[in-house]
Chain A
């Protein structure tokens, strides 16, 4: 791997990270907690790349000077008839030879300043191109209905610490989808009875024309996402897959009284399309 390529990769990767944070797109992949670590990583990467370039130019200028000096010396000792061209080649050859040797040694490092640090021995460094290409060209969207369909429609048992305090504020009360689902199934809808709630999420269609209002819950990154789904009954409008909607409605009991098997239900009074939120996960 050539040192220049490495420097370019670092600068581009650092710029991509900063762009993800500035545009807010990083929220499609990771949680807000990682915002400042990502900024720091981006800045460090750009610094590494720029430093690499600077050192390289300085280093190459030094090599050029050495070659010229040795060529001049040769001319002085051997007279003007000596062939300086070959000398330059010799110098170059020694240089290249040294590099080859290091490559064959597969990262055997004898001198921390030498070229061997750039030889990555495996060629896997090239793979950096992959995520950079994807993130620059077509940043993938937040997880949607495909990922949700792979999850369960039932609600996993919440940890013991989750308590269900009475809903505060005037109707409709804005709730997170996982909060509503847990209240509906694991608390028997106790705090939801007689209240109007407002949930927002995306549409995951299921068989028989029914659809679920879905929100993914992410703790660290999208790889650990789990869907929370609420079946919307009596939807006044038709909805399309993956569309973001806000549903105002009331709780109705699930068809199953066993919380392990129950699917949370929401009787819709209104369904309105909304733009995808900046924070797609809960």
Chain B
């Protein structure tokens, strides 16, 4: 057996080596041809150029926030003692969910930052439902987002309050629903993963931190790119008239803006300005755009699929969408009455 494995190993080594050479050659060819093809397409300044600009814009814009998220989550892994969160959070999920949801106000980032942080929180023993409530509330109710909402809707403090209330309600409701009906195996590797063995090889905290950051950034980034590509496609493909024609229809306008928030995947720190520019739409529809966007969008779904699992994303995203639309509609109507 030993000799057979040795042979296999030797072949593998050769293959991986030739694989690298093939990769290098492929890269050189891609650079030579790709440059011509790309400049031809982008030089035309048509749909392809616009797609590429929007795609690059989403990636470039998300990078600092993604970095903030993975640095924070790396710090949670490396520097926070394993028992810390279970000590400060209420033991019962029913109580831990609202506490974690409210704590989302402390993370000054957008949705790209919150997914890796939530993953590491679960790894650190936080009740999954509570970590998910944090994941949903952090990009929606943090100070930066609320300030930008106030700037986008000047003289309408109701919009800021409505956004805060509806987003927090969404996070807590989804958290409770998850605590009641969620299954641990949907969270993929985060529940099966064991914490580092304290008797294992001694690794410095910084090294743990570095490895966690490098790993999370690389992996989450791949999914971010999928999401950015999908959002850029929607940005270029959807005929703009479709959106304005439904502005006057009450229920449909809410659903259309909610769906638009999903496909456009605009950063939660900027979506208030876009919502404010959709002036023909009723207030609950604009609110739905701002409540749905930070909790469900193409780039988030891709990130969640990568961080947790596909089984998770296919259940979590629709659930969140329904709850968010309901919360935004109710809150919007209440504000409209008041």
Contacts and interface: CB of A to CB of B under 8 A. Distances in A.
Interface of A: 1, 6, 9-10, 17, 20, 26, 28-30, 34, 37-38, 40-41, 44-45, 48, 51-52, 55, 86, 89-90, 92-93, 96-97, 106-113, 117-118, 120-128, 130-131, 133-135, 137-147, 150-152, 156-157, 159-161, 219-224, 226, 241-242, 260
A26 B60 contact: yes
Contacts of A10: 214, 217-218
B315 interface: no
Given A152-B244, A160-B154, A124 B215 contact: no
Given A107-B189, A157-B279, A221-B267, 20 more contacts: A9-B218, A38-B64, A55-B210, A96-B12, A108-B193, A113-B207, A118-B214, A122-B223, A122-B306, A123-B222, A124-B306, A131-B225, A133-B31, A150-B236, A159-B152, A159-B276, A161-B155, A220-B270, A223-B58, A224-B270
A222 B55 CA distance: 9
Nearest to B200: A111
A133 B269 contact: no
A127 B196 CA distance: 29
Contacts of A226: 274, 277
Contacts of B192: 108
Contacts of A143: 50, 53-54
Contacts of B5: 93, 97
Contact of A159 (B2, B154, B196, B197): B154
Given A29-B56, A89-B6, A93-B9, A145 B271 contact: no
B314 interface: no
B215 A117 contact: yes
A132 to B, nearest CB: 10
Nearest to A33: B269
Contacts, number: 242
Interface string B266-303: 11011101101111100000000000000000000000
Nearest to A20: B60
A106 B308 CA distance: 12
Contact of B9 (A38, A92, A150, A151): A92
Interface in B2-54: 2, 5-6, 9-10, 12-13, 30-31, 34-35, 38-39, 42, 45-47, 49-50, 52-54
B56 to A, nearest CB: 5
Contacts of B306: 122, 124
B326 interface: no
Interface string B39-83: 100100111011011111111110110010001000001000000
Nearest to B31: A137
Contacts of A135: 56, 60
A37 B64 contact: yes
A113 B200 CA distance: 10
Contacts of B274: 219, 224, 226
Given A112-B212, A160-B154, A137 B35 contact: yes
A38 B63 contact: yes
A247 B56 CA distance: 31
Nearest to A4: B20
A146 B47 contact: yes
B270 A120 contact: no
Contacts of A152: 240, 244
A44 B216 CA distance: 14
A217 to B, nearest CB: 8
A160 to B, nearest CB: 5
B46 A146 contact: yes
A152 B236 CA distance: 15
Given A89-B6, A96-B9, A111-B201, A28 B53 contact: yes
A140 B225 contact: no
A140 B56 contact: yes
A17 B56 CA distance: 11
B259 interface: no
Nearest to B154: A161
A120 B221 CA distance: 11
Given A108-B193, A122-B222, A156-B279, A220 B211 contact: no
